[in-house]
Structure 1
Amino acid sequence: MTGATGAIYGIRLLEALEASQVETHLVISGWAEKTIVAETSWRPAEVRRLADHVYAEGDLDAPPGREGFAARGMVVAPCSMKSLAAIANGIVENLIHRAAELALEERRRLLLLVRESPLSVIHLENMLRVARAGALVMPPVPAFYAKPRTLDDMVDHTVGRMLDHFDVPHELVRRWGERRHGVWTPRIEPGGRAGGSGARGS
């Protein structure tokens, strides 16, 4: 998780992966910690507890930064324009950048949930550069055919699309042509309380 706005996407992704019993390795940048506090009711320590393994941003010797690290792939959610630029140009300043560099080197799936608007030519060129290198660039764009009722619905649609790209089964997304089936997935509030459908990441 990096410091771009949209911390709720990373949090909700961790919740969904935990529910699907997928092992997770988490790095939260310093700016991401500030964004979590500013945008959500979560504390960084509570977000870390959603992951199986947690590493410090500056620990370049951690397992995700080593060649041969066994992983299905990597998601940077949200992905700041600074991290996009670093990944696009092979600059390694922290463990997030190093793990992304290795994902590209070893042809593993790398998804960047880029969060910025409007986009400059530099942003677009960096997106093109990482896409040509093999990454999937995915802005969190809501799909209104799903008739979202809450901000949580919009967040879940993007999270579901991310899970699709890693072949993780879920029921977060209403597929095109499907009727709303009323499936409700409880959010786990900090402290282990089940929450309703009110948005946390506005």
Structure 2
Amino acid sequence: MTERKRTPWVVGVSGASGTPYAAAVLRGLLAAGESVDLVVSRASRLTLLDETGIAFRDAHWREDLGEWLERGADGKPASFARPDLAGVRYWGAGDLAAGPSSGSYPVKGMLIVPASTACVAGVALGLSKDLLQRVASVTLKERRRLVVCVRETPLNGQTLKHLVALDEAGAVVLPASPAFYAGATHIQDLVDFVAGRVLDAAGVPHRLYRRWEGELGSSRPPEASGG
């Protein structure tokens, strides 16, 4: 019997604020038994350092990734159990000869979480200035699923045009816009809602949020009984 070919999801992390979204998506993919190819842009390392205190290093990426995925949206360590990272492969953002830079490299698709406006512009214009943008361009040309979780507000006209261009090219434009009907009681719940919608767009099963079932008020906790 031949070994089943590894077919990962590529997760690209750009420099926008919102590294907890990326962590939640990564945890969700790994919990679902998916393989992951990870690309962390140079700009996103500064954001990650600012939002978590973690310095993401190429030579120690597995250790740094494990620490990152243990942290919740509040930045506190050990909020989550460290997942098994055996299914993760890391590619440096400057490595334009990396596997996912070619359409012949088998992947299921790409999730950009979060996507900065600079990243959106680069992908929409086909610039391929780094590996993240190159993989996104390859994903589009190969007609694979591309989910762009844009994290910016407000949006100017030029960015809106770029997002329309991505939609017309076949990408799923998914703003990091949490909803409240799922009964959020913590910042992590809002983060998990957005991450869950990203996984929904990719067709990956998860239990990150409570789905709408058509009953008004179902997200509210029961009223405390009076004494």
Common topology (TM > 0.5): yes
Supply the distance in 2 between the matched residues of 1:31 and 1:148 (Cα, whole angstroms): 30
Deviates more, 1:112-121 or 1:66-75: 66-75
- Deviation (angstroms), 1:48: 3.3
Q: Report the residue type matching 1:77 in the other structure.
A: V
Structure 1: how far apart are the matches of 2:53 and 2:195?
A: 19
* Residues 137-160 of structure 1, C-alpha deviations (whole Å, 9 max, x = no match): 111111111121011000101111
For 1:78, what is the secondary structure of its paired residue?
A: strand
How high is the TM-score relative to the length of structure 2? Answer: 0.75
What's 1:97 paired with? 133
1:24 aligns with 2:36: yes
CA distance in structure 1 between the aligned counterparts of 2:53 and 2:31, rounded to whole angstroms = 20
Q: CA deviation at 1:168?
A: 1.3
Residue 26 of structure 2, aligned match among 14, 18, 27: 14
- In the alignment, is residue 146 of structure 1 matched against residue 182 of structure 2? yes
Matches of 1:163 and 1:111, distance apart in 2 = 9
Deviations 1:33-67 (A, max 9, x none): 11111112544244534561001101011001012
Deviation at 1:71, TM superposition (A): 1.1
Identify the match of residue 48 of structure 1 among 58, 65, 76: 65
Aligned partner letter, 1:48: L
Corresponding position: 1:131 with 2:167: yes
Could you say which structure has the larger radius of gyration? 2
Moved more, 40-49 or 129-138: 40-49
Tell me if structure 2 keeps the 8 A contact 1:58–1:95. yes
Equivalent pair of 2:172/2:201 in contact (CA under 8 Å): no
* Alpha-carbon distance between aligned partners in 2 of 1:47 and 1:20, rounded to the nearest angstrom: 22
1:5 aligns with 2:17: yes
CA distance in 2, matches of 1:58, 1:13: 23
How big is the shift at 1:20?
1.5
Contact 1:26 1:48 in 2 (8 A): no
Task: Give the unaligned 5+ runs of structure 1.
Answer: 181-202
Conserved 8 A contact 1:48-1:54: no
Q: Percent identity?
A: 37
Given that 1:55 and 1:62 are in contact with CA atoms closer than 8 Å, whether structure 2 keeps it comes out as yes
SS across alignment from 2:110? strand
Counterpart mapping for 1:1-202 below 5 A: 1-44=13-56, 45=61, 46-49=63-66, 50=85, 52-177=88-213
Amino acid at match of 2:209: V
Matched residues, number: 181
Query: 5+ unaligned residues in a row in structure 2: which ranges?
Result: 1-12, 67-84, 220-227
- The AA in structure 1 aligned to 2:44 is A
Q: TM-score, normalised by structure 1?
A: 0.84
